[in-house]
Amino acid sequence: MQETKKGLEGIVALDTSISFIDGMQGILKYRGIDIEHLAEMSYETISYLLINGILPGEQELAAYSNRLKSERRINGEMIDIMRVCNYGTEALDSLRTAISCTAHMDHENDNNSLDANKNKAVRLIAKLPTMIAALYRCKSGDFPFQPDETLSHGANFLYMLRGEAPSAIEAEAIEKDFILSAEHELNPSTFALRIAASTLADVYSAIITGLCTLKGPLHGGARRGVMEMLDEVAVPENANNYVLYKLSRKEKIMGFGHRVYRTYDPRSRIFKDMAKRVAKENGDPTWYEVAESLEHVMYREFLDVRGRPIYPNVDFYSAVIYKYLRIPPELATSVFAIGRVSGWTAHCFEQYADNRVIRPRAHYI
Ligand code: ACO
């Protein structure tokens, strides 16, 4: 039997046409298109691209956008469930339950045809922002706001969360967040989900598998960790001592490092620029400056001690943006899932289309 590769590092597990990463050169493409180009489009366009494999024409996009908008609402039963399943400190635990309930309420749940599965994808993409905003509002004892169909996917989410429409820069920032979070090849949650799909489990079951895997602090949960770290560090002058103290205790600094990238993550570059613009509009650049100081110290320490720098990953500057957008830390991992659900559903379809059950071996010791 072959030698064990801890963490499956470097193992190529399957073929995909959904995304491409060059970790040495810092290149990321969805369906053959560079992320820098995609970041200028709408999230609806990107989700269409991921699910259908091609960019929509004007008419297709208008029809898709209308479908998504018409599916944004959640019913009263769902809101009642959210009031009950809302005790923990992490919104994702409740979101998991909410998605499970959506499956019960979906008349196509048992239909595993591609058409029915694409309908489920539309429902999930449309409803996730509404569910998360409703969870937050219910927890504070407030009534959820109804979705506003005149607003974009991102702007509508911020509206439902805060009760006021965001500024143009805030709307651009959250839209970019959803786009840049939408897909990333065989990251842990997508791989977990593909294993579930390979057993021919239904789309909702596979998505919940992905969602549960996203929760961990070494994966999507790092975004919340970064938000908490920004508060803890508080001012740029504290960054040096904070990093040195954590590294001396062999603790991880959230939002740094990546299994695949050996250079700057192209998504982080776009997030960094966006974070700077959001900070400027806000008028208080402190969180942005704290983040820049942490990046600087981490780069220096890794280069000095290990001869190789470490770079911010997708969770780092996105967390700075969340601070400025007033997204509560307990929602951070769930908000990541709003973007990622398009990539997840695309991977489900790809797995179903050319399936063999994913079942590796273990080395017995
Ligand atoms: N802080 C401190 N040390 C780090 C960090 C970090 N953020 N990242 C890596 N290292 C250290 C490791 O401890 C390891 O040290 P060692 O050789 O003394 O054991 C060395 O750098 C090599 O790193 P690995 O752990 O081999 O990296 P791996 O590929 O296994 O893990 C991971 C990648 C999980 C992202 C890691 O960098 C990490 O834990 N980062 C912090 C959590 C985080 O930000 N996760 C989000 C990733 S992006 C995403 O999933 C959406």
Q: Is the CB of 329 under 6 A from ligand 1?
A: no
Return the sign of the alpha-carbon dihedral for residues 48, 54, 58, 60.
Answer: negative
Active site residue 202: no
In the prediction, which pLDDT does 365 show? Answer: 92
Q: Compute, in angstroms, the gap from residue 60 CA to the centroid of ligand 1.
A: 41
**Does 48 have pLDDT greater than 80?**
yes
For 172-184, what is the mean pLDDT? 98
DSSP string of 160-209, one letter each residue:
HHHSSPPPHHHHHHHHHHHHHTS--TT-HHHHHHHHHHHTT--HHHHHHH
Q: Report how far residue 257's alpha carbon sits from residue 263's, in angstroms, rounded to the nearest whole number.
A: 10
* Mean pLDDT confidence for 120-129: 98
pLDDT tens string 228-240: 999 999 999 999 9
The number of residues making up the chain comes to 365
Selected catalytic residue, list 315, 347, 354, 363: 315
Categorise residue 53: left if φ over 0, alpha if ψ from -120 to 50, beta otherwise.
left
Q: How far apart are CA 276 and CA 295, in angstroms?
A: 14
d(CA 316, CA 286): 15
Residue-wise pLDDT tens digits, 140-176 = 889 999 999 999 999 999 999 999 999 999 999 999 9
Ligand 1 contact, 325 CB (< 6 A)? no
pTM of the full structure? 0.97
* Residue identifier of the C-alpha nearest atom 2 of ligand 1: 252
Tell me which residue has its CA closest to atom 41 in ligand 1: 254
pLDDT of 71 strictly over 90: yes
Q: Which of 202, 258, 265, 347 is catalytic?
A: 258
How would you class 246 by CB atoms within 10 Å of its CB: exposed for 0-12, middle for 13-18, buried for 19 or more? middle
Residue 311's contacts (CB-CB under 8 Å, 6 or more residues apart) are 256, 257, 258, 261, 263, 264, 265, 268, 295, 299
Total Cβ atoms within 10 A of residue 147: 23
Summarised one tens digit per residue, pLDDT across range 11-40 is: 999 999 999 999 999 999 999 999 999 999
How far is it, in rounded angstroms, from Cα 57 to Cα 356? Answer: 34
Token look-up 């897909």 returns: 183
Amino acid (1-letter code) at residue 66: N
For residue 3, what pLDDT is reported?
A: 85
The pLDDT score that the predictor gives to residue 219 is: 97
- Catalytic, 258? Answer yes
Mutating to test ligand 1, I would choose from 21, 256, 344 the residue with most ligand atoms within 8 A of its C-beta, which is 256
CA distances to 124, 259, 274, 362 from 8, in Å: 30, 10, 33, 11
Q: Is 271 in the pocket of ligand 1 (CB under 6 A)?
A: no
What pLDDT, on the 0 to 100 scale, is given for residue 89? 83
Take atom 4 of ligand 1 and give the residue whose Cα is closest. 252
